[in-house]
Every structure is written in C-alpha cells, then in structure tokens.
Amino acid sequence: MSFRSAVITFPGSNCDRDMADALEKVSGTAPHRVWHGDASLPDGLDFIALPGGFSYGDYLRSGAMAARSPIMQAVIAAANRGVPVLGVCNGFQVLTEAGLLPGALMRNAGIRFVCREVKLKVENAQSLFTAGYSAGQEIVIPVAHHDGNYFADAETLDRLEGEGRVAFRYAEPVNGSARDIAGVLNAAGNVLGMMPHPERVIEPAQGGTDGRALFESAVRGLVSA
C-alpha cells in the first residue's frame, strides 16, 4: 500500500521541496504538490503537510493570508475528517490562523530571527507523529523563525498540558514561548504544528537525523492502520 501525501505550496513557501523530499525518502512515494489557489485536494490522502516559509510575505500576520487561501478550506475539511496534517514553522502559523490549533505565534521575545539547532524534549510520544520517540527523549532539530513565540491564555495552556497535547518543548531558551512549547496537537491528535524543522534532519548528510522518526511514525502508523 502506498502512502498518499500532499505538500501545499503557498506563494512564499520555501521549505516545500525539503518537506516533499523528506516524505518521499521516508515513505517511498513522492507526495502530490498542491498549489494554494487549488480548490480541492487529491482524493484519498493519508497525510497533508504545510511547509515553512514566508507565505504572502508574512503580510498582516505570519500565516494570516495563507490561512484564508482557497486550498485551506479543503485542508480544514480534511483535518476535521481526521486526515493527519503536519504544519512546520510557517505551516504551524497557518494552522493557528486557520483555527485548527489554539494559540498564536508572536514575534520572538528577543526580537531577532533565530536560526540554529535547538534541543527539544519530546513530551507526548504516543501521537501519530511522535510514536517513534520516547517520552522525555531529547532531540536536536533546527529552527529558523522570527515569529515562533507561542502564546495562549493560561486556561488554554493548562488544557493543552492536561490533555497531553504539548508534543514538544524547547529544552533551552529559544523564543519566549509560553511554557517552552515548541509543538502542539489538536484535540483529536491528527493535527500537529511545530516551529522546529524535522524535514531538515532526516539523513546524515543534513547533519542530523532526529527528524526522521516523526515521518517514520506517521508513515508506519498510517500504512499499518
């Protein structure tokens, strides 16, 4: 059984090729490439990825315009049907702007763009995306963002923590994120948004492989399901 995935490209996306490459290398099947202006997704998708970048030049707010682009109506409908959706970096921003994940991503507390490898702690190792890790495991994944400072009100943060929806936390200061949150899941567990870039560390030539287990978890979980 082959793994049917799609990578959405918005004007200004710049990690879409890396994302497609990671999905192809891990699953063995090249993903469909879908343009923001498309009205529908290919049928029978197992996985949808929203890549990093600077969609629409970050106009208005990071991810705000992309969240309202035509293809996102189809992505929201698919997510609500239970199709797994991964949003990385700008993709995470798009997911919060689209209302698929709670909270918002604000300007980094230190003002500066942060582009480096960071240590993450795996908080939830039971989700579709994180089952290949162990709870509490420390992994190294690069970040590259200006607006990665996760914000949500205290009640929302308590709920996310109580329901095991914090997938990853930063194990070091990075951007001022509330409770060091680096990645969050939706209530159903089929949508993950994260600022760090797992697609950039899937094979040794990239300088690390700690992101590979995320894609392997998803592919294994879905193909065996």
Partner 1 sequence: MKVRVFVSLKNGVLDPQGRAIHHAIEGLGIHGVQDVRAGKMIELEVDASVTDAQLEEMASKLLTNTVIENYRIERVQP
Which residues of the chain form contacts with partner 1 (CB under 8 A)? Answer: 60-61, 64, 68, 96-97, 102-104, 106-111, 149, 151-152, 176
Told to judge if 89 belongs to the known catalytic residues of this protein, a careful annotator would answer: yes
Compare residues 107 and 179 and give the one whose CB is closer to partner 1.
107
Compare residues 84 and 193 and give the one whose CB is closer to partner 1.
193
Q: Quote the least distance from Cβ 97 to partner 1, whole Å.
A: 7
125: CB partners within 8 A, 6+ apart: 131, 133, 134, 135, 137
Question: Where do the H-state alpha helices sit in 82-205?
Answer: 90-97, 154-162
Q: Give the position of tokens 């060091």.
A: 180
| Torsional class of 63: left (φ above 0), alpha (ψ -120 to 50), beta (otherwise) | left
Q: Quote the least distance from Cβ 71 to partner 1, whole Å.
A: 17
What Å distances lie between residue 110 and 63, 113, 177, CA to CA? 20, 8, 11
Compare residues 107 and 169 and give the one whose CB is closer to partner 1.
107
Pairing of the two strands 104-106 and 85-88:
unpaired
From the list 15, 36, 89, 97, the catalytic residue is 89
Q: How far apart are CA 217 and CA 26, in angstroms?
A: 10
Compare residues 113 and 138 and give the one whose CB is closer to partner 1.
113
Q: Quote the least distance from Cβ 174 to partner 1, whole Å.
A: 14
Backbone angles phi, psi at 45, to 5 degrees: -70, 145
Q: Quote the least distance from Cβ 59 to partner 1, whole Å.
A: 11
Active-site residue set: 89, 197, 199
